A and B are shown apart, each in its own frame.
Chain A
Amino acid sequence: MQIGITAMGAYLPALRVDRKAIAREYSWSGLGMPRGGFRALAGWDEDSLTMAVEAARGLVRTAPESLRIASTSAYYTERSQSAIALDALALPRTVRTVDFGNSRRAATTAMLDALLGTGDQIVVASEKRLTQAGSAAQLAYGDGAAAVRIGEGGGARLAGFASVTHDLVDRYASQDHPTPYAYEERFVRDVAVAELIVPAIRDACEEAGIEPGHLTHVAVAEPVGGTWAAAARQLKVAAPNHCQSVSDAAGDLGTAMPLYGLGLALAAAAVGDYVLVVGFGSGVDALVFEVTGEVEGVAGFAEVLTQGFRLTSPTRFLNLSGALSLDWGMRAEFQQKSQATVLERVGRDTIGFIGGRDSGGNVQFPKSAYPVNPALSEPEVLEDVRLADLEAKIVSITADRLNFTPDPPFDFGLVQFDNGARVLMEMVDRPEQGFAVGDRVRMRLRIKSQNRELGTRTYFWKAAPRARPTLGDA
């Protein structure tokens, strides 16, 4: 059977920076930066791993053969993101994992590898990239993730592809310069279009047996603005670039950009259409898909773009994006540790949010030898129950303004799951009116603690409102 895309998932953080409000704050400087639309901004406790898991969690009803995560902003330089994600997604340890990085093109490369393989693989792309205050990238970039599952009988089959490897240095980030260093846009656009993008698209279309003009929807991750317009003129393609919608509503998502755009394109396409996705960075990947049916999950991509909380505070934006170091006082000196031995014992149950069901049917977290159920008096082995995908209800809550958190207040309280489990949890994605007893909540993977001195993070689940509000116009 033909291998293709069977399902996709998307995740954007809830905060959306109103670019106009921030650019206005910079107006005295005369610095150039985008002034329209929104930039998706990760919370302090989100990173490329947490967002990757959020994007992929809808795709793992069954275990795939492999899990591949592409990112240029993985927190750990030696500790596999995909290995941590495997536990967070509660997937078996027999699933092969691969991390792709060092290029914004990494996701399309990983996807292409999967499509050329045996199928039943998940590719996730996720980014939370550092940017310099005042740079165009600070407002042009966005944080977010997208995931794709590839397997037999998908609704979009790979009809043709082409890859060009070319060390065109349009921008770079390095250990010594972790924020992007960008070269002149006109130089980048001219060379990228002529040497990489147009030739690759022509080759991919030729392999697919179509003229470029037959493309009905495209998702082209542009190195700079105007790239697709220039390439489309040469290729005589009239199709809209769905990555532009992502740029406008969330920002340039790096490795996740072509995947997110592909999700939007597939949602808009009809059976029989040809859809192009282009990943760019140190070369180019051009993949042409023939739409043969429905792809599960793509209908939600547009909705994710439009839901969240508008952020207009420049200092809160700079604080959360790591561009401003605030003096939070001595309480912020608290550094939480994690011990490898503890992680080895209970880490998988913790990051997987796996509780246990006792012989009386009650679920608890964490598991224990003696069940918390007062009706039971003997030690027993509890049956695994994953709580991450279940809703719960707030039993008690406060907005703690004394406890240190990089984004006050610190909302926490007891939440009650319908299966009996009761857990003390942090709350995230605070609604405008705050949280209240009785609110229904869903679970989100977040950073639990970070120890900057030791360079380590732990991850756990936090309770978030079941739904997000719809954003208005920027």
Chain B
Amino acid sequence: MASGFRDKVAIVGMGCSRFGERWELGADGLMVEAFGEALADAGIAREQIEAAWVGNALDDINVGNSALPAAHALRLQRVPVTRVENMCATGTEALRGAAYAVASGAVDIALAIGVEKLKDTGYGGLPLKTKGVQNDLWMPYGSAPGTFAQLAGAYAARHGIDAGDLKRAMAHVSWKSHQNGVHSPKAHMRKAVEMDKILNAPMIADPLGLFDCCGVSDGAACAIVTTPDIARGLGKVNPVTIKAIQLSASNGWEMQYGEWDGAHVPNTRVASRKAYAEAGIQDPKQSIDMTEVHDCFSITELVIMEDLGLSDEGRAPADILDGRYDRDGAIPCQLDGGLKCFGHPVGASGLRMAYEVYNQLQGRAGDRQRGKVDFGLTHNLGGAPFNSVAAVAILGRLN
């Protein structure tokens, strides 16, 4: 009987580059920036890393495929390095790989690093690519805002919510994150934005306006993982541990089979329920102290709140407008400003979220610190609502 990750793997060091339009750095420089911070945090030397997983989603944008870009950038000493890619869940996928290595006993210390260098495309938004495969022959390639915007109409239809009311709740999601991002020195965007400006912004993909969308940016984040015993040996008295990591991938049911209502993301529901069970959490509304979720678009965060079981079905707009997920609310969401303020260097985002939870758990989040945090949750959603990969991780302390 599988027993899961719970408390088998400790995180002893994390690092995160400053996210943004890092014109001065390539992917290698971004990784070095994050890696140096993590090594210092862990109190280990580079040579103690026995295996590494590098997450990078868009191989043709200035990073390159395989493990070699990371092995070169960090000059890893001929240790096994594996590249992983799972769309927007890539960063968490790297953490999962490193954690598996430690949990299995294969290695003592492993590195997970995620990086993306998106600002070399020459334009905003994610790059499109085509390989001439079967899907290219029939599947429309809408933009990322276009794919997620479709949640809104379906959600409004499913719950009988007026489009204007939904838009206001979506605007609150973005307003709240921009308020939080002011306090994140490493965020791409650190300005509060007025509600009227959000509501009246130019339309990107109906009904998502400019401020309903996160930007893209350059960035890297990493984690050094080991066993709790070794963590204590490194001076971490009550180390941060992984309570759960769960992943769920679409099998085509949403976009090919006529049952899905288009108003929720089944993979998030599956991954979170499994994660709660793995972490031993009975009631997430009571136990989860904070979340960093995949707010690629405001409507996504709204729907995620229900999919994670933090809002009841159809109640997310009201909960959001009531401030339940604000920094002083019951379960703050995006204390660091989220994708909305950090942007979304795809391969790095999952680890950037873990970085915020890791700091909050240890009371090291500075102006953003949310009192005592026992359990923090990260969530990634790769792909599109109708064809996704969802990853949920729960972090806490060993004792």
Residues of A within 8 A of B (CB): 329-331, 334-339, 342-343, 345-347, 350, 362, 364-366, 368, 372-374, 395-403, 409-410, 412-414, 416-417, 420-426, 434, 436-438, 448-449, 458, 460
Contact = CB atoms under 8 A, between A and B. Distances in A.
29 contacts: A330-B123, A331-B128, A342-B134, A346-B137, A368-B252, A372-B252, A372-B256, A396-B150, A398-B147, A398-B149, A398-B208, A399-B206, A400-B204, A402-B146, A403-B143, A410-B142, A412-B146, A413-B150, A414-B255, A420-B257, A420-B258, A421-B258, A422-B256, A424-B139, A424-B140, A438-B157, A448-B137, A458-B136, A460-B137
B138 A448 contact: yes
Contacts of A421: 256, 258
B253 to A, nearest CB: 6
Most chain A beta carbons < 10 A, residue from B133, B139, B260: B139
Interface of B: 121-123, 125, 128, 130-134, 136-143, 145-147, 149-154, 157, 203-206, 208, 251-253, 255-258, 260, 262, 386-387
Contacts of A438: 157
Would you list the 9 A-B pairs with minimal beta carbon distance, nearest first? A400-B146, A396-B150, A398-B149, A339-B132, A337-B132, A402-B143, A403-B143, A396-B262, A426-B140
B162 to A, nearest CB: 14
Contact of B130 (A335, A343, A345, A425): A335
Nearest to B213: A402
Contact of A400 (B143, B151, B157, B262): B143
Contacts of A336: 130, 132, 136, 141
A372 B138 contact: no
A200 B211 CA distance: 69
B153 A331 contact: no
A224 to B, nearest CB: 43
Contacts, number: 147
B4 to A, nearest CB: 25
Most chain A beta carbons < 10 A, residue from B145, B251, B256: B256
A398 B150 contact: yes
Most chain A beta carbons < 10 A, residue from B138, B251, B386: B138
Most chain B beta carbons < 10 A, residue from A343, A362, A398: A398
Contact of A362 (B128, B255, B257): B257
A410 B131 CA distance: 21
Most chain B beta carbons < 10 A, residue from A342, A410, A424, A437: A424
Most chain B beta carbons < 10 A, residue from A347, A396, A417: A396
Nearest to A418: B258
Contact of B136 (A337, A364, A417, A425): A337
A457 to B, nearest CB: 11
A43 to B, nearest CB: 15
A338 B132 contact: yes
B142 A400 contact: yes
Given A399-B206, A400-B146, A460 B262 contact: no
A350 B153 CA distance: 28
Nearest to A342: B134
A374 B257 contact: yes
Contact of B262 (A366, A409, A414): A414
Contact of A345 (B134, B150, B208, B251): B134
B256 A425 contact: no
B28 to A, nearest CB: 24
Contact of B137 (A395, A420, A424, A458): A458
A402 B153 contact: no
B153 A364 contact: no
B136 A401 contact: no
B180 to A, nearest CB: 25
Contacts of B387: 424
A337 B154 CA distance: 32
Contacts of A395: 154, 262
Contacts of B149: 398, 400
Given A342-B132, A403-B142, A403-B143, A396 B257 contact: no
